[in-house]
A and B are shown apart, each in its own frame.
Chain A
Amino acid sequence: MNKLIKKIMSLFILAGVTYALYQNFSLMPEYQGLNEGLSSYIIESGLNDTGSLNLITAVLYDYRAFDSLGESTVIFGAVSGIVLILSRKMLPVSSKGLSFIVKRTLGIMTPFIALFGLYVITHGHLTPGGGFQGGVILAAISIIFSIVYGSAFDYRRYSPQTKTALETGGAMIFLGLGLAGIILEGAFLHNLGFLTAETGTLISAGSIPYINIGVGFKVGAGLAIIFYSMIQKTFEEDF
């Protein structure tokens, strides 16, 4: 009886919320074309201003680079929080890994995955991609290792200290390039002029590729740290 009342109550509340949302959304006017505003300016002169062929990267790491610094700091904070709450004293050796065939195949594939990750990071200003996306691919390698070769494999090679150093190193690269902007160009996170080169080559677009590399290491190491603190266990929990 009590459960039934609860269900009916929550049904009523849901219906009320749905009605309110419907009313609100129906107030919205019909689509009348996007107000272009800033975007038209960026489409016209983004390439000239930044030297980056990928305009999304131009917005992320030049026009609004401070937002990207904030976003990557959110990841940094999330990693610190998860490590604070979840980290335990020991890492269970879950298994010896999967079968021989899988191990060999992954052994051949892993360098190419890493290469693809690095490609996505370094070509952020030329093709779709960038530091955040490439970093996730690098973190996936660490997770694959843990599943295929057993959880201790990756942990022994790259200790949490190394990963933390990589993560904070990425953050410091971002911050340092911003401070270099103050010294060389007069504004925080200003694109560094002396690094520009011919548009379309790998080393061009000022400091954007270097920021991408910093963010890539930070995100990759951060996500790997999150994964390894989530699979740790306490002594009391059964294995």
Chain B
Amino acid sequence: MDIKILFLILVPLGTAFLIPFIDLINAKLRRFFVLLGILLESYLIISIIINNYQSLKSGDFFLQYYLGGWQPPIGISLAMDALSLVFAVITALSLFLIVIYSIGYIGHHEGKYYVLYFLIAAASMGAILTADMFNIYVFIEMLTITSGALIGFKRSQEASAAAIKYLIYNVLAGLLFFLGVLLIYFNLGTLNMADISQHFASLESGIQLFITAIFLTAILIKMGVFPFLFWLPKSYDTAPSPVTAVLSGVLSKVYLYIFIRIFWTVIGFKTLEALNLNILLLDLALFSSFLGHLFALQSDNIKRLLGYSSIGHIGMITAVIMLNTEAGFYGGILHIISHMFMKAGLFVACGYLLQYTRSHAYRDFKGVGIRNRSVFVAFIALLLSMIGMPPLLGFASKWYVLMAFLEARSYFGAFIVIFGSLTAVIYYLRYIAKGFEEIKLTEDDLKEEIYSRPLLSVLYREKIVSFITYAYTAIIIGFGLGFRFFDLPLRMSIESVMNVERYIELVLGG
């Protein structure tokens, strides 16, 4: 019973509940209150790491909390093993950076924005920590509703269209997930993940296939892998920059965590192999990665391009995890971490760079680099990391992914990794070149500039916004030089993914 892991969920939840009250009292206090909430969250994470440093090193780290005092098969329990710890730490770090960025970026409707933001924080922590099947559905629903509202934050026609599309796809996915949970309860009479995992193999193979297929469809829609990727670029494009950073930096990684948790811990990879789904899924994910890079090549809009490249990277991560080897997980989780920081950093930088342009389109990118030279250099460093330049974090993770594919003799996968990097060079260089193009303003341009649509966003506190961009770049460069730092956490999390029996024993017996 460690109460700190409960407060990881309750602190953002309580912050979200209290913000409307603070609004009624004095709206100026809100900013400090938001900072207080996120600092408390970071303190909890740090103290969990420091208090359990010995057990982390020896490899028997496990914390759990019984809600309402009910033991696992009856009630809900929260469980934190090494894999959840790694995801909780990186999610909290991302949320911390993006909330400070939002303080600089969001200028209107701040109250509701922070409420929804902290609900996302609480829901992502909850989805990472919970050890109960229905509870994970509740948190997925919370993530869907709140992020759908934030996508429509700009209230323009495109933003509403994107939000509705996002909600239709994702609520459908949630419904399928719910159907799967129902079927599991109907057949096994339990909702605890460890308990399900113990008895799942005893089901008939027909019902096994049905449950697996339903969960697979639901989670593939959420992650944006090939047959269901069409909601993703539109919503990435129209949402304001901090929201896009949350979508790609936090949400897609939480869904990847749920994917790993369900298909390794609950259903079990052996079941996937017995149903012949693993090869199909590997090829599907690789094809999705290929398509993502191909679409990115023809995209005319920087944020949409980054969305397509997200599809490419998430497909690659899914594929390398599906290899089910230690090297695969090592590369996959390292790439999850590095992609989280690179993509969120890129969207954050985009929010700064595109503040004076009229749209996100390629032709409006002209001269952006000359106006804001230092932020543009940071932007280029992040792009190089996406491509996989040696001293940066992207290189290290891509290298391990490539090695994992070669080790498993999956040459199509290795080809996709190289292909992705090469096409990325092409589509990013276009934008870098355009950014350094000088603008020759004619009188007509000026007239059009003044009389046409208003600017996308006028920043509120410019210093904070550019500072966060530099912070992301520093993370990428620093960890790129010292990527060995991730060695211990990665080995721990691989151990906890592979050793399912230990998880079951600890959850049910602890």
Q: Judge whether B250 is part of the interface by a CB distance below 8 angstroms.
A: no
Check if A67 sits within 8 Å of B76, measured CB to CB: yes
> CA A179 – CA B17 in complex, angstroms?
14
Q: A168-B21, A175-B13 are in contact. Are A37 and B149 (CB under 8 A)?
A: no
Inside 8 A of B17's CB, which chain A residues have their CB? 76, 168, 171-172, 175
> How many interface residues does B have (CB within 8 Å)?
58
**Measured between alpha carbons, how far is A189 from B112 in the docked complex, in Å?**
27
Contact A85 B163 (CB under 8 A): yes
Stretch binding the partner chain, chosen from A28-36, A103-111, A141-149: A28-36
CA of A225 to CA of B6, assembled, Å: 30
A67-B138, A171-B17 in contact; A27/B209 too (CB < 8 A)? yes
Residue of B17, B68, B187 most packed against chain A (CB within 10 A): B68
Shortest distance from the beta carbon of A62 to any chain B beta carbon, whole Å: 6
Q: Is the CB of A27 within 8 A of B207?
A: yes
**A24–B216 Cα gap in the complex (Å)?**
14
- Chain A nearest CB, measured from B200 CB (Å): 13
Q: Is B152 interfacial (CB-CB < 8 Å)?
A: yes
A67-B206 in contact (CB<8A): no
Q: B113 in the interface, Cβ–Cβ < 8 Å?
A: yes
Given known A81-B148, A84-B149, contact A28–B206 (CB-CB < 8 A): yes
Give complex CA distance A65, B66 in Å. Answer: 12
Interface membership of B139, Cβ < 8 A: yes
Minimum CB distance partner of A169 in chain B: B21
CB distance from B443 to the nearest CB of A (A): 32
Return the contact of B135 from the options A70, A172, A175 (Cβ within 8 A): A70
A73 and B189 contacting across the interface, CB-CB below 8 Å: no
Interface string of B1-43 (1 = CB under 8 A from A): 1010010001001101110110010000000000000000000
Tell me if A181 and B68 are in contact (CB < 8 A): yes
Question: CA of A104 to CA of B148 in the docked complex: distance in angstroms?
Answer: 42
Report the Cα distance A37→B196, complex, angstroms.
11
Cα separation A34 to B189 with both chains bound (whole Å): 8
B278 within 8 A of A: no
> Which residues of the other chain, B, contact A165 by a CB distance below 8 angstroms?
20-21, 24
Find out whether the CB atom of B18 lies under 8 angstroms from the CB atom of A168.
yes
Interface residue A115 (Cβ < 8 Å from any Cβ of B): no
* In the complex with contacts A66-B67, A66-B68, A71-B138 CB distance below 8 A: yes
B210 A27 Cβ-Cβ under 8 A: yes
Q: Is the interface of A mostly helix, strand, loop or mixed?
A: helix
Q: Contact string, B175-192, partner A, CB cutoff 8 A, digits 1/0?
A: 000000000001111110
B73-A38 in contact (CB<8A): yes
A80–B149 CB distance below 8 A: yes
* Identity of the chain B residue whose Cβ is nearest the Cβ of A64 in the assembled complex: B76
Nearest CB of A to B441, in Å: 33
State the CA gap A26–B484 with chains docked (Å): 51
B187:A35 contact, CB within 8 angstroms = yes
| Complex Cα spacing A154 to B18, Å | 25
Tell yes or no: B115 within 8 A of A by CB: yes
Tell me the smallest distance from the CB of A57 to a CB of chain B, in Å: 14
Q: Cα distance A182–B1 when bound, in Å?
A: 12
Give the CA-CA distance A28 to B126 in the complex, in Å. 32
Q: How far is the CB of A85 from chain B (nearest CB, A)?
A: 5
Q: A63-B68, A164-B24, A175-B13 are in contact. Are A84 and B119 (CB under 8 A)?
A: no
B186 contacts A70, C-beta separation under 8 Å: no
Checking A25, A36, A69 against B189 with a beta-carbon cut-off of 8 angstroms, the contacting residue is A36
21 CB < 8 A contacts A-B:
A25-B210, A35-B188, A37-B189, A39-B189, A63-B68, A64-B134, A66-B68, A66-B76, A70-B142, A76-B119, A77-B115, A77-B149, A78-B145, A80-B115, A81-B116, A81-B152, A84-B153, A164-B24, A178-B10, A181-B68, A191-B68
B residues near A, CB below 8 A?
Answer: 1, 3, 6, 10, 13-14, 16-18, 20-21, 24, 65-70, 73-76, 109, 112-113, 115-116, 119, 122, 126, 134-135, 138-139, 141-142, 145-146, 148-150, 152-153, 155, 160, 163, 186-191, 204, 206-207, 209-210, 213
